[in-house]
Structure 1
Amino acid sequence: WTKAWIKRQSNYIKGLKSKSLSAKRLASHIVEDIEGYFKAFKKCKDYWGIQDKDIYNFDETGFQIGVSSGEMVLVPKDILAVYTADPENKELITSVETINYGGRKVPPIIIFAGAYHLRRYFKNNLDGDILFARSSSGYSNDKLGLKYLEHFNRYTQSKSIGQYRMLIFDGHGSHLTQEFLDFCWQHHIRPFQLPAHTTHLLQPLDVGVFQSLKHNFKKEVRKQVFMGAKEISRTDFFAFFQRFHDKTFKNPRIHKSAFRKTGLIPLDPQQVLLKLKEYQ
C-alpha cells in the first residue's frame, strides 16, 4: 500500500536519497549564529578598511594518492559489471590551499609523512614556488601552521591594496596558537575564524573549490589506471599534481564564485540562510 499511496501523492511529495551530516554540523545550523557571523565579518572588514581583493581563505585538504572512484562506462547490454584495477595506495598527502577573492596566487604547501625528501619526487613540472613539508602524521601541526603564515605573507604582502589583509580559517588548533595569532597582528593580517562546524556552509574553499579539486584529482588517477598503471607512488602523485591543481585554481571564475556562494562578497547572508532549509 505504501507504493500506491506515494503514487497518489506524487503531485505533492517525492523521494530523495538522504545524505549523512554529522550531528555537530546539524547542531550548528542556528540562524542567529549564522547572522551573527556575517555581522562580525562586516564589522571587522569595515573597521580595518579591508578591501575585497585583500580577503583570503585557507584550509587543508587530503588526498589518498592511489584512490579513485567509479565512473560511467558504456558496455554491451549483457555485461553486468565493469571492474578497473585499484592501485591500492592509501597514503595520505595534505595540501594547504589558499583562495583569494581577487584571484591572487598563493602556492600550496604540500605535507607528507616521512623523515626526508627524495630528489626524484621533484623531477617533474611542479611549480617551483610550492613549499614542501614533512610531519610524522602527514597532517599540519602548530609548527607548520606558522610556516604557512610566513609563506602566505611572502606572497601577499606586496600585493595588498589596503593596509590590512583578512585571512579566514577554521578552528583547527594549529590556527589558534599564540605564535600564529601574534604573527598575524604583527604583519597586518586580520585573522577571522569561522564558527565551529560550519565550514560546509561558510568556508569558500569547502563550498566552492575542494569538490572540484578532488574531482580533478580522481580523474587523473583514473587516467593513470587506464594507461596501465599498477601502482601510483608518491613520485607519480607529484608528477600529475600540477595538472589537476591548475585545472581547478586557474579557472578564472572559481575564486569569486566561492566567496559569492558563501555570502561574503558581495555580502549576502541569504546565500547561506536559504541553504539551511536543505538540512531541515
Structure 2
Amino acid sequence: MPTFYKRQRGSSRADWTEEQLKDAINAVQNGMSLNQASKEFGVPWSTLKRRIANGCFTKKALGGPPVLTQECEKKMVKRIIKLQKFGFAPTRTEVRIMAYKLAEKCNQHHKFNREKEIAGMDWLHLFLKRNPELSVRKSEAVSLARSRGLNKKNVSDYFSLLRNILIEHNLLDKPGNIFNVDESGLQLNNRPGHVVAAKGSKSVAAITSGEKGETITVIACCNGEGTFLPPACVLKGKNEKAEYRDGMPPGSIIFMSQKSAYVTTDIFLLWLRNHFAPRKPEGTVVLILDGHSSHCSSVDTLEFAEENNIILLCLPSHTTHYLQPLDRAFFKALKSYYYNACNSYIKMNPNRKISRLVFGGLLSKAWVQASTTDNAISGFRSTGIIPFNADAIPEYAFLTSASGQQENNERREKISTSPQPGCSHWQEIPNPSAEATAEVDNNQGIEHMQASPQLGCLQRGKNLQKNIHFSSEATDFNTNIVNLRNRKCQNKTSIESVKSGENAKKKAKGKTITKETTKNKQRKKRKASTTDTESDSSLDMDLEDDDDDDVDDEECCCVGCSELCRCTKKDVDWVKCISCQLWLHEDCSRYESMCHICGKKQEK
C-alpha cells in the first residue's frame, strides 16, 4: 500500500483554497499590494507572486505529479468502462499492464518494472483514488450463451408476446392468475462459509456431512400476489418411504425417479395435474416457465394445459437470470437459508450425516424464511411482469448489442476462407424424440433450434406447440453461429477427408489402422519377405500410409502448444495466423487472428 501524506497538527502549508487564491489575485490586479493581499486572503506571499507570474490559478495536490497525465487517465477510465459493458472488465493486473503500455506509447517518464512490463500496485491504488468512479468488484460469471441470448430483440419480442396474452385474456389487473414455476437442486450436505479464527492460522478446518451430498430437486411456484404453492421434491429411487415426508412444509409432495433426481416430462405432468391444477384460481391462468424439454415437449402436458385453461408462456433461452421471477428473488435466499440450517444441524449433531430422513425439517426451516410475500412480489416487479413494464431490464444487463454480434461474426468468418480443422464434438445429430413428435402432427409443429449442453452439438427437432407460446429466439447472431458451425462441419481439411476415406476402405476389408513403432514395422518387413507378392503389396501400402500420417501430423499442429490436429483434446476452434499462415488453437494466443510470435513482432 502506498503511504499517504497526513497533515501535521498546526501546519499551515497549503492551508488555503482555490477561491482565496483567485480573490487575492483579483485584488492585486486592482491595485492592492502583494503583502496586503497575502495577509487579507491568507495566501503566502511567495505563492501569490509565483502564481501571478506563471498565470496558474488552480490548486493542485501536494507532491509530484502522477506518471500519466490527467488526459491519459481519463482515456483509461473510459476504456475500462467500455470493456465492462461488453462483459470483459479488466483485472487489476491487466490495468497495470495497460498503464505501462500507455506510458511507453506517450513517452512518459516512469519507474515501472521494465522487465515484467507492468506498473506497480502503489500506482494502482493511487489511480483508483484519483478516479473514484472506478472500484475493485467481484465479477459474476456469465456464460457466453447467456451473454448472447439476453439481447434487446429477444427481450422486446418476449414482452410483446406477454402483453398480447395479458390483454387478450384480460389479465393485466389479475396478478393472482399469473404464475411462475421453476426448479433448483439442493444437496444433502452443509457448506461452511466465513468463520472467525485466530490470526495467522494456516488452515481452519470445518466439519461437513460428506465430500459430496445427494442432490434433491425442489419445484417452486408462486403467483403475482405473493402466494407460494407448497414445494414438490424429486428424489432418486423407486420406492417412497413415509419417513421422507417428516417435517416437510404442509401440502408438500414427493416424486420418485429411478434414473436421477431431475425433473422429467412425466414428473412435470404429474405436478401440473395433481399439484398445480387443484390450487389454481378459476378462469384462465398464465404459467411462465423456462424452455426445458421436460416442460414443453410432452403432448399430454400441452393437451392437459389446454383443457384446463392454462397458458404456458416459455421464456427465451439463456435469459432466465433476468426474466424469471423465482431466479431473481427466491432461489438464492432459499439456498442461503437451507445451508445455514444444514450448518446448524451439523454443529448440533456432529456424529450424524445429513440424510433424506432429516431433509424435510431442514427444507421447512428454509422455506418459511424464503417464501415470503415480499420476495415473490419483488421477483415479479423486477422482471417487469407485475406491474407490466417492458423497460424493467436495466441497460447493463445487455452485455453485447446485436450489431456488435454481427460484426464479430463477420470478422470471424473473414479470418480464413480456407477449410479449417474442425473439432470432433461439432457434429449434427438427430433428435429422435423430436422426430417422433413431428410425425404426430407436422402442421402444428414449430421448428426449434436447441443447443445440447453436454455435447455442444446442434439438435433440430419439431415439437408440438399447441397451447404453449414461445418468444422469438432466432436472432441474427444465432443463425450466423449455426451457419458457421455447419460450415466447419462440412468443410473439413483435406487431411481429415483423406484419412476418413482410407479408414472406411480398410474397415471394409476387415483391417484396423494403428500407429506402430519402428520395431513393429521391421517385423512386418521381415514377415513380408517370406509371404507371397499380394501380402507384400498390402504391407507396403500400410507402411506408406503410416508415413503419410506422420507427415500430415507434423504439418498440421498448433503453433502455441504443438498439439497435433488428429490428437487434439481441446474443445476449441482452430484459427489460421494471418501473418505466418500456420494453424493454432483459438485459446493458444492472446492476439486476435494471429499467433503469439507474429503478435509480439507486430507490437515491437
In the superposition, the TM-score normalised over structure 1's length comes to 0.91
1: CA distance, partners of 2:272 / 2:197: 50
The superposition leaves residues 214-240 of structure 1 with CA deviations (integer Å, 9 ceiling, x where unpaired) of 001110111111113341111111232
Contact 1:125 1:239 in 2 (8 A): yes
Aligned match of 1:32 in 146, 153, 170? Answer: 153
Q: Which residue of 1 aligns with 2:138?
A: 17
Contact 1:34 1:273 in 2 (8 A): no
Q: For residue 93 of structure 1, what is the amino acid of its counterpart?
A: I
* Equivalences, count: 272
Contact 1:31 1:273 in 2 (8 A): no
**Match status 1:202 vs 2:323:** yes
1: CA distance, partners of 2:332 / 2:387: 22
Q: Which residue of 2 aligns with 1:141?
A: 264
1: CA distance, partners of 2:205 / 2:382: 37
Larger radius of gyration: 2
Q: For residue 41 of structure 1, what is the amino acid of its counterpart?
A: L
Q: Which residue of 2 aligns with 1:220?
A: 341
2:393 match: secondary structure: helix
Gaps of 5+ in 1: none
2:222 match: secondary structure: strand
1:134 match: secondary structure: strand
Q: CA RMSD in A?
A: 1.8
Q: In the TM superposition, what are the counterparts of 1:171-250 in structure 2 within 5 Å? A: 171-176=291-296, 177-229=298-350, 230-249=352-371
2:357 match: secondary structure: helix
Identity of aligned residues (%): 26
Q: Report how far residue 271 of structure 1 moved.
A: 2.3
2:392 match: secondary structure: helix
1: CA distance, partners of 2:248 / 2:359: 11
Cα–Cα, structure 1 residues 82 and 8, in superposed 2: closer, same or farther, change >3 Å?
closer
Q: Which residue of 1 aligns with 2:207?
A: 85
Contact 1:49 1:164 in 2 (8 A): no
Q: Report how far residue 133 of structure 1 moved.
A: 0.6
2: CA distance, partners of 1:94 / 1:145: 12
Q: In the TM superposition, what are the counterparts of 1:1-16 in structure 2 within 5 Å? A: 1=112, 2=119, 3-10=121-128, 11=131, 12-16=133-137
Q: Report how far residue 4 of structure 1 moved.
A: 4.8
1:133 match: secondary structure: strand
Q: In the TM superposition, what are the counterparts of 1:113-192 in structure 2 within 5 Å? A: 113-122=236-245, 124-135=246-257, 136-150=259-273, 151-156=275-280, 159-160=281-282, 163-176=283-296, 177-192=298-313
**Match status 1:99 vs 2:222:** yes
Q: Report how far residue 13 of structure 1 moved.
A: 3.0
Q: Report how far residue 21 of structure 1 moved.
A: 1.3
Aligned match of 2:175 in 40, 52, 62? Answer: 52
2:311 match: secondary structure: strand
1: CA distance, partners of 2:365 / 2:160: 39
Q: Which residue of 2 aligns with 1:75?
A: 197
Contact 1:64 1:93 in 2 (8 A): yes
Q: Which residue of 2 aligns with 1:265?
A: 386
1: CA distance, partners of 2:387 / 2:327: 18
1: CA distance, partners of 2:147 / 2:160: 21
2:287 match: secondary structure: strand
Q: Report how far residue 8 of structure 1 moved.
A: 4.7
Q: For residue 220 of structure 1, what is the amino acid of its counterpart?
A: A
Q: Report how far residue 262 of structure 1 moved.
A: 0.9
Gaps of 5+ in 2: 1-111, 113-118, 401-604
- Which region of structure 1 is more displaced relative to structure 2, 266-275 or 227-236? 266-275
The superposition leaves residues 157-195 of structure 1 with CA deviations (integer Å, 9 ceiling, x where unpaired) of xx34xx210000001111112211111111011110000
1: CA distance, partners of 2:192 / 2:167: 44
2: CA distance, partners of 1:106 / 1:220: 22
2:233 match: secondary structure: strand
1:9 match: secondary structure: helix
2: CA distance, partners of 1:61 / 1:139: 9
1: CA distance, partners of 2:316 / 2:383: 13
In the superposition, the TM-score normalised over structure 2's length comes to 0.43
Contact 2:192 2:206 in 1 (8 A): no
Q: For residue 110 of structure 1, what is the amino acid of its counterpart?
A: C
1: CA distance, partners of 2:192 / 2:160: 40
Q: Report how far residue 80 of structure 1 moved.
A: 4.1
Q: For residue 125 of structure 1, what is the amino acid of its counterpart?
A: G
